[in-house]
Structure 1
């Protein structure tokens, strides 16, 4: 397996910390970390970690773990102080992403894992940036991507993501729901090796609309769309009331859940697995996973950052790459 590219994210945040903390563990991942050599050496000293930092040469093996960290050097233009945002380093953060994407395109990396970035400081630098997902989607040139969060017990994808509740209903169109379901079905097969994915679909309204008494979106949009997709062979169960879908009895009947909006599905998953969950982007031509947390500026350089989500992101990325390889064989 070619190595994964791990972008270390906002330099003032915990991204470099959790990379170094994982490097101190016994478990090794075939991973190249992208970041500034001086920053990593200084942060290792701050964290009192003895890590061998080795410069990566394309085509050679890479390792993250066993007190070793393979680094693709990219220089931050400004001095990095833990916990202190510096707009002058915004383009460095984007350069990490660009280098990972270019390496994937050249066939050097099997996929990418992203540590958290601070969107506000990138925008403060005068660069329009709405997030990792949108940046990668634009680079890949795909029309739609799907946000999927996963833990060891639950996978939840979203039809709509960062929208106010007042805009959600209008955003759930038959066309959008069809595209999301098809991407989810395809990637559960291709990237997770699930031959016939069973997708549990939430209704939008309480009690899934209760036959139109609590809203008509289920009757007019969601159910007809699911019926049309079932005719194509997709195994879609629902729309189901969200308050009972997330029970053990119902969850055992599916492989993943499709929620209609952000706070319908993610609070359940994060209650169940926060700190050990992973953010996965479906619909890209390459594997991309990410941590489920932010930059945690207050923890940077303290040694108190939790590596659980990054470990899970690396685990998922490796398994997804292996599943894709098996499908292509």
Structure 2
């Protein structure tokens, strides 16, 4: 009678659609909106988890438990990068891409080995037999994963001299609101990290920039044209569009929390983010980079 191929295809696509819908609903609940652009960039993470789990890109081979292993590897990678605290969140995507290439190479090697042996050995083998036959490539894969993780987080993450945890300062969003009322076009709060910074910056239309952290205060003067160029660059990145939105996750001991308020042409918008993860829209960090180029810096930070 054979296998019910058509029925199996329908069931597989139905299950895949259900899982996609469930993931979308979960993300919508997390970010509090249903905008279609919020999940852009997740494709690499999903494909990487599947590939790391041993599912062949050409199809025909794979196990759900393997995909769970891939998700675990990605979770450990992100956690170690957060724990390190000195690496940008962009390192997560770099490591994920590198690991994906490594596992694709391993898959290609295993596929070529299987093709060479397939014409001779056409007997069925269980998962245990497969693991035993491919134990060396699997060991190499494990070593590659560990090596990439060690490279990504650096030696500092594993040093025994971990500094004593400082006390985080409360957020200063009430002060930020007052600064906006007083005419500031940009108010930027930088809070947390290993040294528990508590910085608040304000940029005014005339080019005046003020920065405070505790009792320390810095002032800087730029031209109004510099401020206008900064606002133009921020608007080009879609600050007042739905593509830039607040995100939040539990920050690690070395992670920072950011609040950025932009007041321009009668619009005021504040976006919150925590570094060390992959949930924040990439353009948010581009905006932060633009602001970092113009604001003064405290010498001790």
Q: Which has the higher contact order (CA 8 A, sep 6+)?
A: 1
Per the TM superposition, whether the score is higher than 0.5 is: no
TM-score normalized with structure 1 length: 0.22
Higher helix fraction (1 or 2): 2
TM-score normalized with structure 2 length: 0.24
